[in-house]
Structure 1
Amino acid sequence: MNRKTLVLPAVVGLLAPVLAACGGSDSGGKGGDAISVGTTDRFTASKKVPAPFDPAYAYDVGSWNVLRQTVQTLMTMPRSGSGDPVPEAAESCIFSDNGSERYVCTLRKDLKFASGDPITAADVKYSIDRVRSIKADSMVYSLLSTIDTVETQGARKVIFHLNTPDATFPYKLATPTAGIVNPDDYSKDALRNGFEVDGSGPYTLQAEVKDNVVVKTVFTKNPNYQGQLKPKNDKIELVSFDGADAMGKALEKGDLDVMTRAMSPEQINTYSTNPPKNVNLVESSGMEIRFLGFNTATGSVKSKAVRQAMAQVIDRGDLVAKVYGTTADPLYSLVPAGITGHQNSFFNRYGDPDKAKAAATLRGADITSPVKMTLHYTTDHYGSATKKEFEVLKDQLNASGLFDVDIKGDIWDTFRDAELDGKYDVYGMGWFPDFPDADSFLAPFLDKDNTLGSPYANGTIRNQLIPAERREADRLTASKSLQQIQNIVAEDVPTLPLWQGKQYVAARDDVTGVERTLSSSAVLQLWELGRGISE
């Protein structure tokens, strides 16, 4: 393969036969050195975050990608990341009624944890009930909120009785939150502190830790694994870097085999136009979104008119052009383009940026301008371009004369705690979907027990529209309710969508399977990587 940018559509698997010539899938990593993969994700254990890798707590893309390698779920997404979930630890799963309220799964025969202990239906029930019982402050348990009770029949059958119809439930069973854990290793009513993980996934895990921070995560092939996945390597080392520059230098020197998130826009541009020797860049469509969140209960943005005026002033096209270039696209809804039910509700409501309209909105609510506020962002979680993004947002808002904006950055642990505690009026967040459906871009921010800890509560959304869209197994039919939700969000502005990102992976040219390393849902599929001869 020559050193050019390889551009892939969302359904990457469709191109697999064409790309197979880039290296034999059986040659990767078998009996050889571990394949080293770089990331800027940082995994820290603290009093506030005691259990980064516990399925009952973890709720960020980095931790989930660790769990996907090690903790098995009943269902899993196809390798492309799109389409319907398929059985993983389960032999089969199906709704046994016409109302999407009773879901029955049968486990594979002779399923075992990596320790060799057998997995039974009782272990599945224990794992699911444990998440729902602990109710960690990450709010990840909300993914399982439609479960009423979990029943077992014999050693292999699990029956989920739902409290409301939920056609998205199979997707939720494919998330690490529904991961199967061994009751011998995980307490029923307490989180598992630290970085140990025990499951039945394709790999076991050994974390190298310094000062309560993981510096390297070593994944070793699990000989007891049974499931859909077919690992093409025996060992992977996931190495955490302080920033994209250090990660890039390691790749270029040959100390690193693969570089994943988060690459800087400058790196992506360089690797696209003038890549280092023996390095390939893979581009694919993605579902990552960025948005501003608001504390609607207090402070400078309590008034809907202020939030609406911000939506009227911010120029997404200018923001993307100045900071992210071709690596992102403006976004006018919480639901990204490419997802069934998406519509450009914010553009339909506000059109192009217009200072005069924003000023009229403030005057109509008797709000004196300029409105003083601070925009908060995280310095170490979404990549090095975040600071520049907020500098552009500050300039845009201040240039209107309607706002007096300052910006402040904090490390992720500080930022996330403050955001959940309601200490920020305005804050920048990123989101990767729990599963590839519009529900996963709306309910986590708008339903009760939402992941933002947001005080915004709209009864029509929570009591009518979310239940209505979840009743529809046909997601095209669900679009009507989903689009109504998006329109209400554009009117009330509890969040303000900014942009939708593409995905990039850079790798040494003797590594195979790179085009499948990240699915369209941002799932890190380390089992796809191998070593071979590139052409």
Structure 2
Amino acid sequence: MNRKTLVLPALAGLLAPVLVACGGGDTAGKGGRAIVVGTTDRFEETTDAPAPFDPAAAYDVSAWNVLHSGFQTLMRLPRSGTAPVADAAEKCWFADRKNEQFRCTLREGLKFSNGNALTAEDVKFSVERALAINFDNGPVSLLSNIDQVETPSEQEVVFHLKTPDATFPQKIATPAAAIVDAQSYDKDKLGNGFKIVGSGPYTVRTEQKDGRVTKLLLEKNAAYQGPLQLRNDKVELRFFDDETSMDKALRAGEVDLVNRTMSPERIARLRADGDDSGVRLLEVPGQEISYLAFNTEDPTVKSKPVRQAIAQLVDRRALTRDAYDRANDPLFSLVPSGITGHQNSFSNKYGEEPSVDKARSILRAANITTPVPLTLTYNEDHYGQANAKAFAALQQQLGNGGLFQVQLQSVKWSEFRPNAAQGKYAVYGMGWFPDFPDPDNFVAPFIGKDNFLRSPYRNTRISDDLIPSSRETGQREAAARYFQQAQDIVADEVPVLPLWQGKSYVAARQNVTGAEWALNSASELQPWELGRGA
């Protein structure tokens, strides 16, 4: 989100941002009370995030779920599948064979929620605004390949790219390219608060206290012109301080669905209860990943053998078994299973089982004195309580054999993300939800000068050769070989260390319908698909 991409990404043992239930496309939610979604996510204004719902700044999965409802993009991901379809655009296409010029024609009659007409100039303004603001923790890297935007008419937009990019349609389907009203947003600075002036399927109303959203209501936008058919008139996000109170509200029928976060223990309890509780638990495929990120300029982990020794000691199977109650799967590469080009590069190099002897040999060959002091930094209020348990397990694993002397450091999310981007942590835990379902989005965001982590790590073979070559390839299956080579390089140099691939667990009341369409291929919420019925 990102991860998303930040995203940021839904993480281990947490309920992914999806809403799932039984039944079909019933429209019983129309005209009645709002469908209530419970969440432990927080939306708050901070110095580093003054406008949590500004598309130029928002880059985590929870915020993107809101932005997809309040704003339109030229294209969006479909109900299922990975090829973007037209949204605010009537049609879009590459106008050349090199994937360097992309053209879109807008739908007729588009309007923002304030009544202003949406034209090609607003599209141009929105993209150029995001590039000009260049927010440190934002999604600007998804747009950084745009060289120029032209508007031949009020209905036509032409993007000229710096280099070929077959993934560009997927990038402008993300909220990074959300279309804002040029009369309502400053062109060179972020807004303040939680304002959304968009043309999406819903208008967004919030209630706040002390700079934090206490209630968020999505209401059907009567001015919306687009392909989506809403199966409800209102969706309310209700915020909880912890999963216990959220679970209690779900069981009492005060909440229709729960959405982020649930611990592995909570998932196991719901599974054991079965449908008799009035709540249904479903498991759906997930593409979120969790990983350790390394500041490769920090003296502690600057040496590649140190990072390789860490890779040799981590026991992913024990981690997912003991810390997450098997709610996630071990991950041995940046590109998760189910995505084109996936291969287990880390297990190919280090094996699936940890080895103290091999780790010791790596450090000894590099003349590195042991134990190596190491601080692992993690977060709980964004990634959930299970993260603390996971990092305690990692501390024990890395301490085996006396090769590392490990300390743990828990930091609140409001400080964690900006501090990590400023290089204040040697090793820290992060999650990633894909911005779009393509191997490019599991490799490119972590490599090069504009990387999402603001990491100093560079590899020109990946950034200057493999990724550009892959983006010249419109058939993504044919691009797989480039990403397989990139995964092998990452496994050798270890700028990041993948830990697990998430499963998405969803709990919903039995009378909620639209489950089969509530999640698209990037695991993004589609609240317009939800209704209430038998």
Match of 1:432 in 2: 433
What per-residue deviation string (whole Å, max 9, x for no partner) do you get for residues 46-89 of structure 1? 11111111000111111111101101000000112x32000011
Q: How does 1:466-505 map to 2 (within 5 A)?
A: 466-505=467-506
Match of 2:405 in 1: 404
Match of 2:302 in 1: 302
The answer (yes or no) to whether the contact 2:70–2:198 under 8 Å persists in 1 is yes
Match of 2:334 in 1: 334
Separation of aligned partners in 2, 1:139 and 1:115: 26
The answer (yes or no) to whether the contact 2:171–2:436 under 8 Å persists in 1 is yes
- With over 3 angstroms needed to count, the CA separation of the structure-2 counterparts of 1:416 and 1:489, relative to structure 1, is same
Secondary structure of the 2:286 match is strand
Match of 2:86 in 1: 87
Deviation at 1:326?
A: 3.0
Match of 1:3 in 2: none
Q: Which moved more, 1:237-246 or 1:332-341?
A: 237-246
* Aligned structure 1 segments of 4 or more residues deviating by more than 3 angstroms: none
Deviation at 1:520?
A: 3.7
Match of 1:36 in 2: 36
Match of 2:251 in 1: 252
Q: How does 1:164-179 map to 2 (within 5 A)?
A: 164-179=163-178
Does 2:423 match 1:455? no
Does 2:67 match 1:67? yes
Separation of aligned partners in 2, 1:55 and 1:350: 40
Deviation at 1:474?
A: 0.9
Q: How does 1:53-132 map to 2 (within 5 A)?
A: 53-80=53-80, 82-132=81-131
Separation of aligned partners in 2, 1:401 and 1:519: 45
Unaligned runs of 5+ in 1: 1-9
Match of 1:519 in 2: 520
Q: Which moved more, 1:288-297 or 1:240-249?
A: 240-249
Separation of aligned partners in 2, 1:343 and 1:70: 37
Does 2:298 match 1:289? no
Residue type of the alignment partner of 1:226: Q
Secondary structure of the 2:444 match is helix
Deviation at 1:378?
A: 0.7
Separation of aligned partners in 2, 1:243 and 1:122: 44
Residue type of the alignment partner of 1:92: K
The answer (yes or no) to whether the contact 2:113–2:223 under 8 Å persists in 1 is yes
The answer (yes or no) to whether the contact 1:312–1:353 under 8 Å persists in 2 is yes
What per-residue deviation string (whole Å, max 9, x for no partner) do you get for residues 116-139 of structure 1? 211111111111111111101114
What per-residue deviation string (whole Å, max 9, x for no partner) do you get for residues 255-313 of structure 1? 11110122111111111121462111121001110000001002311111010000001
Greater RCO, 1 or 2 (C-alpha within 8 Å, sep 6+): 2
Separation of aligned partners in 2, 1:515 and 1:261: 19
Secondary structure of the 1:317 match is helix
Secondary structure of the 1:325 match is coil
Deviation at 1:23?
A: 4.9
Does 2:384 match 1:386? no
The answer (yes or no) to whether the contact 2:103–2:158 under 8 Å persists in 1 is yes
Deviation at 1:399?
A: 1.9
Residue type of the alignment partner of 1:267: R
* TM value normalised by structure 1: 0.94
Deviation at 1:518?
A: 2.7
Match of 2:221 in 1: 222
Residue type of the alignment partner of 1:59: Y
The answer (yes or no) to whether the contact 2:73–2:179 under 8 Å persists in 1 is yes
Match of 1:416 in 2: 417
Secondary structure of the 1:236 match is strand
Separation of aligned partners in 2, 1:56 and 1:373: 35
Considering only aligned residues, what root-mean-square deviation do their CA atoms show, in Å? 1.5
Match of 2:193 in 1: 194
The answer (yes or no) to whether the contact 1:280–1:508 under 8 Å persists in 2 is yes
Residue type of the alignment partner of 1:337: S
The answer (yes or no) to whether the contact 2:137–2:418 under 8 Å persists in 1 is no
Secondary structure of the 1:208 match is strand
Secondary structure of the 2:322 match is helix
Secondary structure of the 1:113 match is coil
Secondary structure of the 1:423 match is coil
Match of 1:235 in 2: 234
The answer (yes or no) to whether the contact 2:356–2:400 under 8 Å persists in 1 is no
Match of 2:145 in 1: 146
Deviation at 1:31?
A: 1.1
Residue type of the alignment partner of 1:255: E
The answer (yes or no) to whether the contact 1:94–1:105 under 8 Å persists in 2 is yes
* TM value normalised by structure 2: 0.94
Separation of aligned partners in 1, 2:354 and 2:204: 49
Residue type of the alignment partner of 1:507: A
The answer (yes or no) to whether the contact 1:448–1:462 under 8 Å persists in 2 is no
Secondary structure of the 1:238 match is strand
Unaligned runs of 5+ in 2: 1-15
Q: Percent identity?
A: 54
Deviation at 1:325?
A: 2.5
Match of 2:322 in 1: 322
Deviation at 1:96?
A: 0.9
Residue type of the alignment partner of 1:417: P
Residue type of the alignment partner of 1:368: T
Secondary structure of the 1:346 match is helix
Deviation at 1:194?
A: 0.7
Secondary structure of the 1:484 match is helix
The answer (yes or no) to whether the contact 1:23–1:531 under 8 Å persists in 2 is no
Separation of aligned partners in 2, 1:422 and 1:484: 28
The answer (yes or no) to whether the contact 2:77–2:520 under 8 Å persists in 1 is no
Residue type of the alignment partner of 1:109: E
The answer (yes or no) to whether the contact 1:282–1:515 under 8 Å persists in 2 is no
Separation of aligned partners in 1, 2:268 and 2:131: 44
The answer (yes or no) to whether the contact 2:284–2:503 under 8 Å persists in 1 is yes
